[in-house]
Structure 1
């Protein structure tokens, strides 16, 4: 990637160049289809490679580039790529060529490519009449534009609160040093994660926490309320035209869960399993809150993180501010590379020739047995106009003999000391990056990287979180300014303290999952009122008045009706982790088997098969239920 000054020109040439190559490949395929079935699929694979190259870079740059004109150009490029992708899915001549491929002589991988291609053509509506196909094309274009508007409103709507020094009592000193008081006698705090999470965790002043909670929960309001209404309506019409009862039914068809109705069943099952634990731990929070506010009758949003931290400190002897002193960002980042390298047999070499889009971005070549197998980019600190959450983005999808995988980790962490929850998040997101690179040696681009069913993609990342909780693992990088290693007994207490609240956290996740499902199965004139009702039905914590969390809930775009996938994946992750020896998380046998049977295959097999190949049996709820009941 070139220097920032040339980025706009490079982006246009890169995306439009790959898009032009895809068009030429399609024209050639249609004008002179190969006689051999395998040759047809190979040509189709070349088209998919070009489309992936164009879409990966445009979707990344739209979220991370520091220059607004480049972000806008990337969004425009995404629109061109998406429009042509829609055209391909509705191209009857192209469909006739692919559907005419004989299965005779194809191996299992090529047969899977063919099956997926035909499935995707059908789901695009290629077999409908011309008028219906034209409407489906319009809908796809509008869905992309509306989703982009939704995400842009979240990125650009940074809320602030102004508070006096007294209102920041309880905050860590390094955080206070980074937020000096202005001439007006107040400090400014933003809704971005490095500001909002510590305030909601440590600030003793309840009015400050409440102001911060409302600022965070109102990002995107009111603009995104209308945007979401449009997005849900577009998706509902799209699914209906294709003969599905709802968008959830359409979306679930290609996931492990299979049917939209099964999502509600899963949500209700987790809600029931977590009920006792959730109510028990909420009662602990309320009892502790009543020591400060004797007439308190409930625990609401501004209280949850704060009193959870208080309970962990007072009842489990875990002081989050003490823990932070062992988690310097630079040492954590290097420790992450060392841990994952040891675990998966990888090494990381600084990529001195890599051109990056911001001075904070670092790049590494990934080596396995001395051979370069890919490249990663780490973009880990917040800046204006950047994606506000944490995620892994593709730069290049690996294809054997053609191109090595490149992936990007995008987060928003402090530059100094980190919360342990941030360390867990870093390990989680790096799990996606590892998956992308290790699964990048594929013949067929559709199976490259994190290409499994979407309700499985979080499982490998949730697995890697376990290493961020292990005393021996943390001891390899968690040291304070005096060089002292984080004590093992503190880590054990941290793990015990983390178990506190897992029931009500599960219920909160089910609230989010129910919201994403409900908004895609029914129409509501007042989305905020429906949020309040769903929170009452699923979460053990009440709705915070005058907030509109759905307008900042970015997963409503990318995950649409499928937010349940986080918990679905966690169930599988807990089962897979049961195959590891908790006394030695670096034991090579389990780690290598997991790497080779779950990560390396990418999407070349169904997720259930990958898990079965690793565990030697089908996955179950048993490990998750046991963990929840501990």
Structure 2
């Protein structure tokens, strides 16, 4: 059966009605499926099928609300999508507190079911229990209130970051050291001042290359005050709400509630993991900081802080490892990288991309159908450049969750890269995020929508993407698309130097990651009254980068919404990613047998099996920390 992609509006004025039909219409369809479920005879396996039908409809509504509120250029459509998101979450909250539906699902006997159906049933019943369906009426009513308020706060937190773009005005002379194309894009005004926004393509290069310490501090201060002061109150309310919800459900804190459905299992294990990695990285991190301090001293820098660590890092790599990032970026023209990414992943996973002339929400979006074995298995949309009101980080969004013989998976890659030359770090990020997109499409052929796409435990989802980054570090791979203006491929010697330079700072950067992870965990466990004060206490405990007085990192740290207490997952996933990559021969990164085995045993199964089982099936053994330890310790 050949499935057709989702038909998108062909003109801007159609988006509102389309969203109402696709989004709100899907919620109504879900309600119809639940109504039908309630007429089923107890014990009938049709109950599970109707549950799946309702879940498909809710997934469709949730996908378009999340995507369009993040990328659509029309404020009216964004507002409509946010209202739809409220409706979807309210419906889901009420559903998971519905004792009648819970009783009917509980009546289905698991013994006659196949493994997939049994897993879906167990997961559904666990979701009901974790929502509080078995609690008394008063508690359930309070949970409904909390769930609705949670949606409002979550939207406000993300909206304030998305719409909170700030700007620092610096002297034109502060652009000395910046790439030529950056300088050309930042012309001074009549007062000789240049505006540097808090968007990634503006702020990161400036903090990396500008030689003006005062200007770097001004830009960093704006960047680390994103969504301040609005999100200080919003985040405080969100943390208090999550604590109350966890207590009502019988958990000691939100982290314990959240960790129950992850590989790590319990909240306390998060801090144990974070502290262990922080301890393992301590000596190397301090050595790295000493190197940065020694280099910074040449420019009068006495402390490695948020305004200068990138500058010092770049100087060390340039002067001690012979890697000049501006020289490197000559080889990474966005158009060539874009096509190179498609060519590399096509060859690696045996898939084919077919360009599609599709009208989407913006004319810079590119669309491709994905084919495997002569069959179209999905569609992808690449929205890769910054614009006003757009989600300002990098992430993969669902548009459609694939369901076997019902709907074709479609995913959207949302990033904010320059339209000209890219830093190599941006190339690595593009490979990483594309890994999520491939996971979504390749795992989009399950009968049960619960297994579709990136549906594994949340502390595993980064591992496949982190592993795909390895291909962005290989000279032979890069030379397939990384060429300068004259067509000369990036030299093997330069890539070798880049890899050597990348070895520098691993301990330092690992400590930075553990600061983020400790912050996300401890704020949810402690729920301090003064968030800024607590964050500043955590800096010296975990990070080797000093904060800037008067900044408020937590208000712009978007992961405190989606990841909540579980930012540790990035490093947890990296442990697994390094082990999975050990199965590949670094001299033959396109070897078909191992690449296709990885595709079929880790990516394609989606959430149909536990992540540890998928990895063991691929490796032929349980995963371990040996490869990660070798990497961390050089």
Structure 1-normalised TM-score? 0.98
Aligned mates of 1:196, 1:357 — CA distance in 2: 26
Deviations 1:217-255 (A, max 9, x none): 000000100000000011000000000000000000000
Alignment pair present for 1:209 and 2:216 = yes
**Residue equivalent to 1:18:** 26
1:77 is matched with 84
- Alignment check: 8 A CA contact 1:351 1:365 kept: yes
Q: 1: CA distance between counterparts of 2:149 and 2:471?
A: 42
2:531 aligns with 527
How far apart are residue 35 of structure 1 and its match? 5.4
User: Alignment partner of 2:178: what SS?
Assistant: coil
Deviations 1:477-508 (A, max 9, x none): 00010111000110111011111111111000
Provide the residue aligned with 2:570 in structure 1: 566
Alignment of 1:605 onto 2:609: yes
In structure 2, which of residues 5, 16, 20 is the aligned counterpart of residue 8 of structure 1? 16
CA distance in 2, matches of 1:33, 1:139: 33
Cα deviations by residue, 1:246-294 (Å, 9 ceiling, x for unpaired): 000000000000000000000011001111110111111011111221x
Q: Does residue 345 of structure 2 align to residue 340 of structure 1?
A: yes
State the 1:6 CA deviation: 1.2
Given the alignment of the two structures, is residue 51 of structure 1 paired with residue 55 of structure 2, yes or no?
no
The answer for the alignment partner of 2:594 in structure 1 is 590
- Counterpart secondary structure, 1:403: coil
Aligned partners of 1:304 and 1:495: how far apart in 2? 20
CA distance in 2, matches of 1:203, 1:33: 70
* C-alpha distance in structure 1 between counterparts of 2:71 and 2:515, whole Å: 30
Q: Does 1:192 align with 2:221?
A: no
Q: Judge conservation of contact 1:337–1:348 (CA < 8 Å) in 2.
A: yes
1:368: which partner in 2?
372
The 2-side partners of 1:7 and 1:496 are apart by 49
Contact 2:296 2:312 survives alignment (8 Å): yes
Change (3 A) 1:620 1:508: same
| Superposed displacement of residue 369, structure 1 | 1.5
Looking at structure 2, the residues matched to 40 and 114 of structure 1 have their Cα atoms a distance apart, in angstroms, of: 10
Q: Distance in 2 between matches of 1:78 and 1:424?
A: 32
| Matching residue of 2:4 | none
Determine whether 1:99 maps to 2:106.
yes
Q: Distance in 2 between matches of 1:33 and 1:13?
A: 31
Written as runs of structure 1 = structure 2, the 5 A alignment for 1:25-174 is: 25-33=33-41, 36-37=44-45, 39-174=46-181
1:423 maps to 427
Whole-Å Cα distance in 1 between the matches of residues 235 and 512 of structure 2? 21
| Residues 1:411 and 2:427 aligned together | no
Report the alpha carbon displacement of residue 524 of structure 1 after superposing the two structures with TM.
Answer: 1.1
Deviating more after overlay: 547-556 vs 172-181:
172-181
- Report the Cα distance in structure 2 between the residues aligned to 1:91 and 1:165, rounded to whole angstroms: 62
Equivalence map 1:471-482=2 (5 Å): 471-482=475-486
Unaligned runs of 5+ residues in structure 1 are none
2:43–2:108 Cα contact (<8 Å) kept: no
Corresponding residue for residue 323 of structure 1? 328
Displacement after TM superposition at 1:34 (Å): 7.0
In the alignment, which of 488, 496, 501 is matched to residue 505 of structure 2? Answer: 501
Contact 1:366–1:373 (Cα < 8 Å) also in 2: yes
**1:347–1:367: 8 Å Cα contact kept in structure 2?**
yes
Q: SS of the counterpart of 1:440?
A: coil
1:218 paired to 2:225: yes
> Any stretches of 5+ residues in structure 2 without a counterpart?
1-7
- CA deviation profile, 1:358-408 (whole Å, cap 9, x unmatched): 011111100111210000000000000000100000000000000010000
Contact preservation (8 Å) 1:452, 1:603? yes
Could you tell me whether the CA contact under 8 Å between 1:399 and 1:443 is conserved in 2? yes
Partner of 2:309: 304
Q: CA shift at 1:528, angstroms?
A: 0.6
User: Residues 168 and 208 of structure 1 are in contact (CA less than 8 Å); yes or no, is this contact kept in structure 2?
Assistant: no
Q: Which residue of 2 aligns with 1:470?
A: 474
Do 2:262 and 2:458's aligned partners in 1 also have CA atoms closer than 8 Å? yes
Q: Which residue of 1 aligns with 2:5?
A: none
In structure 2, C-alpha distance between the alignment counterparts of 1:302 and 1:533, rounded to whole Å: 19
Q: Once the 2 structures are TM-superposed, how far is the Cα of residue 523 of structure 1 from its aligned partner?
A: 2.2
Which residue does the alignment assign to 2:184? 177
CA distance in 1, matches of 2:126, 2:629: 35
1:27-77 Cα offsets, whole Å, 9 max, x none, are 01102347532x221111001000000100111000100011100100000
Secondary structure of 1:521's aligned partner: helix
